[in-house]
Structure formats: C-alpha cells, structure tokens
Amino acid sequence: MKHLCLNLKRFDVPVRMGGVNRLAEGNVWAQTIVSNTKDELEQYRGKARFPMYFPEAHIIPAAQAAGNDSMIEVGCQSVYRADVAPGVNFGAYTTNRPAASMKALGVTSTIIGHCEERADKLGVLQEAGVTDTAAVNRLLNKEIQCAAAQGMTVTYCIGEKAEERDRWQDVLSEQLTIGLDGIDTSKVIIAYEPIWAIGPGKTPPGADVIAPIAQFIKEKTNGMPVVYGGGLKKDNAAMLASIPEIDGGLIALTRFQGEIGFYPEEYLEIIRIYMENQ
C-alpha cells in the first residue's frame, strides 16, 4: 500500500492577500480540490491511500465533498495534546484543536510533527527558557496518543536540520523513540523531512541519500511505512517511486514557478507519475 499524502497548509489565502490561492474563493476552496480529484483517485483503490490535510476551517466542506467511501481521507493539521473526556473536561480548550472535535467533523487522519509545527513548539519552549529539544518530541507524543485514541491514522514527521546532519541517526532515533513511545503504530506512517533541503535555493537529496535514511527508519521501527516528506513533485516522483524503502510521499504545492500554487490537475499528474513507476 502506498501512502500519498497532501498537506495544504495555508494555501487557501488568495493572491490579493499575499497568498498563492488562484484556485477558488475560500468558502469553496476545499470543496473544489476534493471534487476535482476524488473520481480519478478511484482507479488506485486497494493500491494507495490519499490523506488530505486541510486547515481547520475547510474540513467540513472537504468532508461533504468527499462523501461516503471516498478514496480521500479528510485530515487535519495536528491535534491538541489533550482531549475531551466525559466527566473530566468537556471542551475547555479555547484556540486548540482536540482530536474529538476533529473526529466529530469527519476527520479520519492527521499530520503531526511537521517541521513547521516542530519549529513553532521549539520557539515557544525557548521563550520559556526550555532548551531540552526532547520536550518537543514529548509534546508530539501526546498529540499522537490523542489522535490514536480517536481512531485516526497519523502521519508522523521526523527530520534533521542542516546543523544536525552529522548526527542525523541520533536526531531521528530520538524523534522516533520519544514520539512513538507507548503508541500502537499500526495506524502510523513516518514522513522523513530533510529539513536542510527544503526551501528556495536548496538542493534536494537524491535516491543515494534518501534510501539509506529510509532503511534506517524502517530498521528502527520494525518496518513501519516511510514516505518522503521533503516534497513529492512531478520532477522527483519517478525517482522516489523507484526507491524500495520509500512507500509514498507528501505533496504540498504543485507549481513552484509562475502562478505558484496548488492545482488539482497537477496533483493528479504527480500521482499518476508516481504510481506508474512502481
């Protein structure tokens, strides 16, 4: 089974407001994406799964557009580290995203530990004087526990920064050991993000770099699925599909030049290239 995940971040912001959304107005943005991809994805039933991680405001229209028994798994972008519980806390989580609230809206999957989430948590901890980097992994572990308790599948992101490349095994081992502590990993996949290679002007890694790292992760996790989280694109889809240790990828933008943004037809092209090169 291949895992082809879509992380739409804040791509709903229109160009006139500084964003990259040329696709549709915000109130129908998610609906447009789901409606224009769900039928073609049916051809991969039994071969791949397609979680789509939306900003919270777009989950209801995405779930409505997906309907029942869709190949699209409507997902949210992480959950809070605590959840509602009968007789304990029925929802006093102002500004936060409890897993129970997401499940009630139709969410079946979530992405946790993306490098941007890790950076945010680390920044907050540093403001509080906490320098223990393992604290981020402990917080993410609580999020995974809450998502798993609600029956969600989880894409758990790990990765090393440029200054950590010479000790990447230690960095990834800590993220895996602490982040997955006590977790039933049967519904978890690992997304490897080479943080040092993400962003304009950075050189993306090739198969010679990705394959041994994916193999290392599989060895540390007893064979858990590993997807490439550094960006599955049209120009690297065939290469990534050729790596036996890689089980899919994480897609974000589909166009990085010209009218930058996410376009459903280009997303489907990336999927086609990847699946045809298995």
Q: Confirm if 8 and 252 have CB atoms less than 8 A apart.
A: yes
Length of the chain: 278
The domains of the chain are located at 2-276
Q: Confirm if 4 and 37 have CB atoms less than 8 A apart.
A: no
- Give the pLDDT score at 278: 84
Q: Confirm if 250 and 274 have CB atoms less than 8 A apart.
A: no
**Cα–Cα distance between 199 and 213 in angstroms, integer?**
20
Q: Which of 117, 143, 160, 193 is catalytic?
A: 193
Summarize pLDDT for 159-187 with one digit per residue, the tens. Answer: 999 999 999 999 999 999 999 999 999 99
Q: Which of 114, 117, 143, 160 is catalytic?
A: 114
Active site residue 276: no
Which residues are bridge partners to 227 per DSSP?
191
- Taking residue 274's Cβ as centre, other Cβ atoms within 10 Å add up to 25
Residue of 255, 251, 259, 185 whose CA lies nearest to 223: 185
Which residues are bridge partners to 99 per DSSP?
none
What's the CATH class of domain 2-276? alpha beta
Alpha carbon separation from 95 to 56, 91, 253 (Å, rounded):
11, 11, 27
Tokens of 243: 């790596």
Measured distance between the N- and C-terminal CA atoms of the chain, rounded to whole angstroms:
11
Q: Confirm if 100 and 84 have CB atoms less than 8 A apart.
A: yes
DSSP three-state, residue 177: helix
* DSSP letters spanning 6-48: EE-TTTTSBGGGTS-B-SS-GGGHHHHHHHTTHHHHGGGTTTE
What lies within 8 Å, CB to CB, of 169 at 6+ separation is 216
Active site residue 114: yes
Which amino acid appears at position 83 of this protein?
Answer: D
DSSP three-state, residue 233: coil
Q: Confirm if 250 and 232 have CB atoms less than 8 A apart.
A: yes
Query: Please, what are the averages of pLDDT over each run of 10 residues along the chain (278 residues)?
Result: 97 97 97 98 98 97 96 98 92 95 97 96 94 93 98 98 95 98 97 92 90 98 97 96 97 95 98 96
> What φ, ψ does residue 227 adopt, rounded to 5°?
-115, 155
Tokens of 259: 């009218």
**Cα–Cα distance between 153 and 35 in angstroms, integer?**
22
Q: Which residues of 146-183 are buried (b: 16+ CB within 10 A; e: fewer)?
A: bbbebebbbbbbbbbeeeeeeebeebbeebbebbbeeb
**Cα–Cα distance between 192 and 213 in angstroms, integer?**
8
CA neighbours within 13 Å on the CB side: how many for 213?
26
